[in-house]
Amino acid sequence: MNVAVLTGIAFVLVLGVMVGAARPRRSSGASDFYVAARVVPAWWNGAAITSEFTSAAACLGAAGLIATRGGPMVWYPMGASAGFVVILALVVAPLRRAGTYTLPDFAEWRLRSARLRRFTTCFVLVIGLTFLVAQLHAAGVAVRLLTGLPPWLGWAAVAGAALAVALAGGLGSVTSVQAAQFWLKLIVFLGVGAVCWWTSGSRPLAWFEGVYRAGEGGTAGAGDPSLPGVLSVLLACALGTMGLPHVIVRLYTNRDGRSARRSIVATQVMLAVFCLVPPLYGILGQAHVSGAAADEVVLLLPARMLPGTAGEALTGVLAAGAFAAFLATTGGVLVAVGGAMSACLTRAGGGSFRLGVAVVLLAALALTAGTAPRASVALVLLGFSLSAATFCPLLVLGIWWRRLTDVGAAAGFALGGGVTAALVACEQAGVKMGALTSNPVPVAVPVAFASMVATSLVTPGRIPRGVGRMMARMHLPEHLSNPGTYRSSLPGNHSSH
């Protein structure tokens, strides 16, 4: 059993709980739990967004795919950067002016349908659970691999710490933990990677030349080295980012729209710096760690390159960085999905928020216990694919097309999500239809857009009253359109009432 590993894991989790619990309370109202009282500075918010985005898939899975599948996987981290460009261009300003904290809130406000709100909440839950299960399984793999202890101890440690932080102060506490842990992760991964690179004593890039292992992609196209496969993954990330619940809620944690846009720009800069991590470990892993699963390559690298005490110490440091990633993403997804769920359980507020968070975490733990470990990249890409085929069409059409109806949105969700699920199920069952089954996004996204548009056109009577005022609110300058209150988190103040 590696004492350094256990020490590193304990240090990060305890530190995270302490930072979350020590956050000063600026508000005792619901907005403190849902959107950190809207007082987070732009650069701090950018660090928090980047931290929850650089999850197990980014820190472990992407590097492992580069090591095992070769150069084409280097492009994977670029998808997230493209996604934030899309958000900045199409979503940030109009969604801020709409004044709705969550994606189901936006659906209800824009289309005047409480049923659609409940329907979209189900998709928020599914997408959130895929991200949570990816983090918990990765934590279990790390604990088993590095210490020999049962994987459930890894799940329990991350889940317990994330729950403590979320209950302490909602998104405000989670933001403090995420922003601090981004810098910790960046220093740890770049520092350990630099030491390993320096000790390699040769030309690491030479080992990477010509590495290209043919093979079929996994779930949602993960690991497919072909050009269509890589492009499909980039498309899923670029379109799916705007529909991730833990990303959209971040647009409201700043004081105003200008700060929200600066947060997205800061996120892009920080992501660009962190994008150095997967290729660095992928190149070294290809040379020194053979035969390991994708999520194991990074964790095994220091001990393989530096056997003995030095390798154990570096492994402990790396484990600390990995668990910082697990905790940051788990906390962010937990509060975002729990906040969306709470409105379906009871009136919005601190009590319902805590109940929603507990329900979501219990569901994630049950799914983790009942499923076999999957590569983190595959699960995360499945979440991106579902988001791209459901919430991306809703946001684009809801913001920019006045004729969208609630029936059209529901049809798009059903067909886009259904096609994605069906193609992934076929791939898992061994039914091969080429790029169709391994890369669902190029098929599911056009189907979702087309069904939303076609169904809306044949149901013009369902266009909500006051759509002109809603469109004006979203597209006029913020000082003219900003709502006096934010409808989503205030008790008894939902827009459809």
Domains and CATH numbers, the chain: 3-375 (1.20.1730.10)
Provide the β-strand partners of residue 70: 212
Angle at 96 between CA 93 and CA 98, to 5 degrees: 110
Amino acid symbol at 311? G
Between CA 230 and CA 463 the distance in angstroms is 39
Give, in order, the Cα–Cα distances in Å from 164 to each of 35, 128, 331.
17, 19, 9
Q: Distances from the Cα of 115 to the Cαs of 11, 287, 302, 407, in angstroms?
A: 45, 54, 52, 10
The C-alpha atoms of residue 27 and residue 489 are separated, in whole angstroms, by: 13
Using alpha carbons, select from 183, 256, 223, 257 the residue that is nearest to residue 64.
223
Sign, CA dihedral 349-354-357-363, equals negative
Q: What are the C-alpha distances in Å from 167 to residues 9, 17, 132, 329, 332?
A: 21, 10, 17, 16, 12
154: three-class secondary structure by DSSP: helix
**Predicted local confidence at residue 211, as pLDDT:** 46
Structure tokens of 26? 């600026």
Contact 354, 181 (CB under 8 A): no
Q: What angle do CA 413, 476, 235 make, to 5 degrees?
A: 35
Q: Which residues of the chain are under the pLDDT cut of 70?
A: 1, 23-38, 201-221, 345-350, 432-438, 478-497
* Residue 99 to residue 83: CA distance in whole angstroms: 22
Task: Say what the pTM is.
Answer: 0.89
Cα 57 to Cα 65: distance, rounded to the nearest angstrom: 10
Contact status, residue 393 vs residue 412, Cβ threshold 8 Å = yes
What tokens does 249 get? 């809620």
pLDDT digits 0-9 by tens, 347-383: 666 677 888 889 999 999 999 999 888 778 888 889 9
214 Cβ contact partners less than 8 Å away, ≥ 6 residues apart: 225
Euclidean distance between CA atoms 4 and 308, whole angstroms: 12
